[in-house]
Amino acid sequence: MRPVQFSGSARAECHSTTAMPSRRRHRPTRKSTSPPATAVCRTRCWLSQAPAMCTDRSDHPRALRRQRGLTMIELVLFIVIVSVGVAGILGAMSVATTKGSDPVRRKQAIMIAEQLMEEVQGAGYTLCDPTDPGFDTATVDAAGVITGCVNGPETFGREGTITRPYDNVNDYVAAAGDALPGFDSGGVLANAAGKPLTAGYTATVRMVQESFGNPAVPNFGAIKITITVSYDQESFVLDGYRTRYAPNQR
């Protein structure tokens, strides 16, 4: 930018910081409200965009004296904040890209677990096996003691070579607490009719007696059912319950 040229009178006016003494006799006058000549000079110098012409820089405008740019600390903080933000965005994009199909796979796992749970809870839960001669007359007292079964009360584990759907809920496992693939047919996960389900999934079922706190449910009066469906190193767990509300119903 080319400096603005001042005339000799203007330059002299700007360089002068004190007023020449007047030869006239001092006369009392009213107090002047106009700004001092020095301030006017400085203002003219700065408005003319030629600050170099002003010799006194002690009271330059604050905005022009302020240092421009940023400090090293501010620069480091800026780099750190931007780096964290970029890393977070890239991480979210990576997860969304690599696991974009997970919701579909998980939804299928939930549907399989619900289907298998419905099958298990729909089975009977009786005092005796349905083939027992004393099935219709067997009873259970308040302590949970079962009487009247000729072949003994119903317990965990299936009898003989029965196939799905089983006649009793406890036929789906061999023993309490064991998680077994009770829904496989020929080593493949299948529905109650023996038809294979969606490939890539496996399922196990686990059962334990449930007392439901104090006072407890009579012995073997309720069962907690846990079905776990696994896929792609992930799993979905579904819990359900079955009570013996109809001990003599086929």
- Let me know: does 36 contact 59? Beta carbons within 8 Å: no
**What's the pLDDT score for residue 110?**
94
User: How are beta strands 222-231 and 234-243 bridged, if at all?
Assistant: antiparallel
In the chain, % of residues over pLDDT 90:
24
Type of residue numbered 194: G
pTM score of the predicted model: 0.58
Cis peptide before 215 (omega within 30 of 0): yes
Confidence at 101, pLDDT banded by 50, 70, 90: low
Beta bridge partners of 168: 124
Asked whether the predicted pLDDT for residue 16 surpasses 50, the reply is no
- Whole-angstrom Cα Rg for the chain: 46
**What's the pLDDT score for residue 190?**
92
Q: Provide mean pLDDT across the span 194-223.
A: 82
Asked whether the predicted pLDDT for residue 216 surpasses 70, the reply is no
Beta strands in the chain (DSSP E): 139-140, 146-147, 184-185, 188-189, 202-209, 222-231, 234-243
In the chain, % of residues over pLDDT 70:
68
CA angle 116, 120, 121 (to 5 degrees): 115
Question: What is residue 174's three-state secondary structure?
Answer: coil
Residue 229 has φ and ψ, to the nearest 5°, of -110, 125
Which value, to the nearest 10 degrees, does the dihedral of the CA atoms of residues 147, 150, 156, 160 take?
-170
Burial 206-223 (b: 16+ CB within 10 A, else e): bbebbeeeeeebbebbbb
Element (H, E) at 14: helix 8-15
